[in-house]
A = this chain, B = another copy of it.
Amino acid sequence: MVLVRVSRLVQTVFAEVSRCHGLTTQQTQLLCVLSRGPVGMTELSRSLHLEKSSLTGLVDRVERRGLVERVPDARDRRACHVTLTAEGTHCATEVHQAVTERLDALGAELPAAEREAVAAALARVLSRDDTPRPFPAAS
């Protein structure tokens, strides 16, 4: 159950960093997905494993804080694209850096060669996973 413990550790880091920025874990995850670019509600609900109705409220709350915006889709008047505002982009970047720093600090326990071997192995396991990535960068 090493994977379960690793997962809980990462979740804790994620939650703590989010809290430092006045966000919930779910709100941070929304920002992370959007940092790759604007996304419609339906696709967003698939990315986040959420019902569309649940997503409506989440986006409402984050929009109320000025971090995202609903932009009407010119080609389909039913649809919209959710995009990061300037402040939202800034926030997403900061959270990404903070999480990365804290996880890299953990990885520093291992020699570089071993660290890369682990990363490569995990990447292979993940290759079976069709879930969209929450983060744009590597590492």
Cβ contacts under 8 Å, A123 to chain B = 2
Cβ contacts under 8 Å, A103 to chain B = 1, 3-4
Q: Majority SS of interface residues in chain A?
A: helix
Are B4's CB and A135's CB within 8 A? yes
Is A126 at the interface (CB under 8 A from chain B)?
yes
Contact of A10 among B4, B133, B139 (CB under 8 A): B4
Given contacts A3-B6, A10-B4, is CB(A124)–CB(B110) below 8 Å?
Answer: yes
Are A1's CB and B124's CB within 8 A? no
> Which segment, of A52-60, A63-71, A76-84, A113-121, faces chain B?
A113-121
The interface bits of chain A over 81-108 (1 if a CB of B lies within 8 angstroms of the residue's CB, else 0) are: 0000000000000000001100100110
Contact of A110 among B8, B14, B15, B121 (CB under 8 A): B121
Are B139's CB and A125's CB within 8 A? no
